[in-house]
Chains A and B, each alone.
Chain A
Amino acid sequence: QSLLTQPPSLSGAPGRRVTISCTGSSSNIGANYDVHWYQHVPGTAPKILIYAHTNRPSGVPDRFSASTSGSSASLAITGLQAEDEADYYCQSYDSSLGGWVFGGGTKLTVL
């Protein structure tokens, strides 16, 4: 059971908008530790999508955005494309563990 809770699965039609939530607690997101997001297509290397809450590395489309409020964070994907079908993970630091934690992951299906 991860300290960061994500919905196990989500789906959306091409062109639509989806939001993936990441709920933490006072020892991680709520403690103002940075939240980061990754995209992982099984069988390939995971890819950083968003770092430090809202920042997109070069090459990541602006269809991907994220926000953090209180003990929760969310990743929004607009204009869904077939290539967005992947697993998505949030990540932060947890002071009770003394280490870095990932959410359980959300499998996104593009209908």
Chain B
Amino acid sequence: EVQLLESGGGLIQPGGSLRLSCAASGFAFNDYAMSWVRQAPGKGLQWVSTIIGSGYNTFYAGSVKGRFTVSRDNSRNTLSLQMNSLTVEDSAVYYCAKNGGFCTSATCYYFYQWGQGTPVTVSS
């Protein structure tokens, strides 16, 4: 059974940094792209970042590019998201997701399985 367990969320002041982690189990982790998707209070789902299986290619939403860094440790089946220069607009529940879809361009990717999410609140 696939399990995705996020951790690292919490309350942080604007301008601060936070590192989220996602522990994955139940599948061949290094065979799959992984993503972070967030949901701000009262808002819809928003894609944040994706990293392919090897870790060599990463993708970011414009709103987080240059501030967030996605990485993975395939030896530990762990996905991470380093979030810097946080603003109140980054407050959300952050979900780790295992991608589905196999295509060379990655454009066919979808979010096949999800964790329960970890809440991040940016507030002074």
Measured CB to CB, the residues of A under 8 A from B are: 2, 33-34, 36, 38, 40, 44-48, 51-52, 57, 87, 89, 91, 93, 95, 97-105
Measured CB to CB, the residues of B under 8 A from A are: 35, 37, 44-47, 50, 59-62, 95, 100-101, 107-117
- CB pair A47–B50 under 8 Å, yes or no, is no
Bound-state CA distance A87–B114 (Å) is 15
- CB pair A46–B45 under 8 Å, yes or no, is yes
Interface centre among A87, A98, A103, A104 (most CB of B within 10 A): A98
Which B residue sits closest to A47, measured CB to CB?
B114
- CB pair B60–A99 under 8 Å, yes or no, is yes
- CB pair B45–A99 under 8 Å, yes or no, is no
Given A89-B44, A102-B44: A48 in contact with B112 (beta carbons within 8 A): yes
Which residues of chain B come closer than 8 Å to A91, judged between CB atoms?
Answer: 45, 47, 110-111
Top 4 closest A-B pairs, CB basis?
A105-B44, A36-B110, A45-B114, A93-B107
Given A44-B116, A48-B110, A51-B100: A100 in contact with B50 (beta carbons within 8 A): yes
- CB pair B62–A97 under 8 Å, yes or no, is yes
- CB pair B108–A40 under 8 Å, yes or no, is no
- CB pair B107–A33 under 8 Å, yes or no, is yes
Which residues of chain B come closer than 8 Å to A98, judged between CB atoms?
Answer: 59
Given A34-B101, A40-B45, A99-B60: A93 in contact with B109 (beta carbons within 8 A): yes
